[in-house]
Structures are given as C-alpha cells and as structure tokens.
Amino acid sequence: MEQVAATMEQVKLLTSVNDQHGGVIVELSEPIDSGIFASMLRISISEWRKLGKKGVWIKLPIELCSLVEVAVKEGFWYHHAEPTYLMLVSWLPGGAHPLPPNASHRVGVGAFVMNEKREVLVVQENSGIFRGTGIWKFPTGVVEEGEDLCTAAVREVKEETAIDAEFMEILAFRQTHKAYFEKSDLFFLCMLRPISFDVQRQEAEIEAAKWMPWDEYVAQPFVQKTEFVKHISDICLAKVDGDYTGFCAIPTASSGGQMGHVYQNAQGRRR
C-alpha cells in the first residue's frame, strides 16, 4: 500500500528543472485537464516549499491558455509573454522578491554606409509610415532576439540592399519612451564600411534602394525638417570629415559566460 501511495503521489508532481537561483522551472507542453493541473500544482508547490525552493516559473504555451486561470488562483502572476507562450512566476517565500524585471526596451539599429564617392546607401520603404512618401532614408530595422547590435546593422543592410558591409562604430544612440504602450525604445546609429557596391533591393519591404550623393540626401525636406534626422546627419558628416569618434565594439564575456560586446571609445582600448 505504501508503495502504491508513493507512486500516486509521484504521478501528481509536475515535472520541473532547477534554475541557478534556488528556484524551479516548469515547462508544460502536453494538454492536461485544468482540474488535474490544479491538483498537481498544489501538491508540487507543497513539495517545493519543503525543499526550500524560492521562485517558481511556469511556461505555458498559448495552446494551454485554459490553465492560466489555475496558476493565477495558486498565486502566480505574469512575468512576460511572447506570441507563443506566457511565463508565470511565483515567489514561495512571499514578500518582496528579487526576480529579474521584465524587458522594458525594444531595440533598433540604423546604418550609415558611405562609399568613396561620398554617396550614401539609402532605401525607400514600401510599408509603414514612410510608404509612398518618396523619402530616401538609411536602412533600419529591429534587433532580433539574442542578436548583437553590430550584427543586426550588418544584417539589415544586407537584407534590404544586398550590400556587404563591415561594422565600424556606433556613432550615437537615442532613448525614447512610450514607443508602444508603456515600453521604451533604444535606437543605435551604426557606421558601416561597404565591402560590395552592387545594390539590389529586397522586394518584400523595400520599394527602392540606391547610392545617393550625400548633399542630395541631406537636401530632402525630411532630413532638414525632422530634428532627430538632421541631428544624426550632422554627426555622420562630422564622422566623414574626421571630427568625430563613436564607440567601437569589443567582444567580451559576461559574468554568466554568455558572449556579448562592450561598446566604447577606442581611446579606452588599453589591453
């Protein structure tokens, strides 16, 4: 009998893995009745408490959205969500928790690419607010999940114009707020050195792409009348004229061992 009871209890525990901070992570993937899930969750929480576990994460695929209510009733709250899943979390010790805050910023890059004829690489977009305006602008885009800023700038230029280019510097960046709802935005202006020169536009997003004489680019009303665009075109010109130093990218390991980059003035490169 004791054997049977133990087996039944085991069946009722949710499968979890330990995280590096004294907590556990539960990733559900198979459909499960919400009543059964509620029992399993309650028994699991009791077990995790005995083990001294602290933070409990539950990753619920959107297909299992019927279980959200069960978790919330057991004291879980939302940590973050992506299109395909919702991450819930609970702090078993109660009180103030040291759990990581949610992501607060989306991140974009713009690419300043000039050839030796003082022509700048520009595109016309065929969707969004620039569609149909005839405005020529720098290639821009959103940094993908897990992507380095310097890599994102090179990728966007390649995707939109087929130009191969090498990342040189971040010339400036801008932080703005309420980019959508309550989230903020960081936009990094990158200078790239072109390696190839034959422009081919990407048909999906780009109406046209070309090398354009710098003076013609700057003369556009869009550049002259948009404070931020005028501002960064001044920075680009200062860079071309040799009067400006941005931040270069230096590969580095984080304390967690993940690779990343430090961006800094090359003056500080002592090592």
User: Which of 122, 163 has the CB closer to a second copy?
Assistant: 122
Give yes or no for residue 172 binding a second copy (CB under 8 A).
yes
**Among 46, 104, 115, 200, interactor with a second copy by CB under 8 A:** 104
CB neighbours of residue 148 within 10 Å: 17
Q: Which residues of 240-256 are buried (b: 16+ CB within 10 A; e: fewer)?
A: eeeebebbbbeeeeeee
Strand locations in the chain, DSSP E? Answer: 17-18, 24-27, 55-61, 77-82, 85-91, 105-113, 119-125, 140-142, 165-180, 183-194, 206-213, 248-253, 259-264
* Euclidean distance between CA atoms 74 and 85, whole angstroms: 19
Catalytic residue among 47, 159, 205, 207: 159
User: Which of 34, 196 has the CB closer to a second copy?
Assistant: 34
Give yes or no for residue 244 binding a second copy (CB under 8 A).
yes
Tokens, residue 267: 């003056």
Give yes or no for residue 258 binding a second copy (CB under 8 A).
yes
Give yes or no for residue 75 binding a second copy (CB under 8 A).
no
Q: CB–CB of 96/63 below 8 Å?
A: no
Q: How far is the CB of 183 from a second copy (least distance, A)?
A: 5
Residue range at the interface with a second copy (CB under 8 A); choices 4-12, 114-122, 166-174, 195-203: 166-174
**Total binding residues toward a second copy, as defined by CB under 8 A:** 83
Largest CA distance in the chain: 87
Q: CB–CB of 110/188 below 8 Å?
A: yes
Q: Which residues, in sequence order, are CB contacts of 191 under 8 Å at separation 6+?
A: 111, 112, 113, 168, 169, 170, 171, 236, 239, 246
User: Could you confirm whether 159 is annotated as catalytic?
Assistant: yes
- Stretch 114-143 residues interacting with a second copy (CB under 8 A): 127-128, 142-143
Give yes or no for residue 62 binding a second copy (CB under 8 A).
yes
Give yes or no for residue 246 binding a second copy (CB under 8 A).
yes
Q: How far is the CB of 162 from a second copy (least distance, A)?
A: 21
Q: Can you tell me which residue has the tokens 């929480």? A: 45
**Among 51, 78, 118, 216, interactor with a second copy by CB under 8 A:** 78
User: Which of 162, 184 has the CB closer to a second copy?
Assistant: 184
Beta bridge partners of 77: 89
Give yes or no for residue 255 binding a second copy (CB under 8 A).
yes
User: Which of 85, 210 has the CB closer to a second copy?
Assistant: 85
**Active-site annotation, residues:** 159
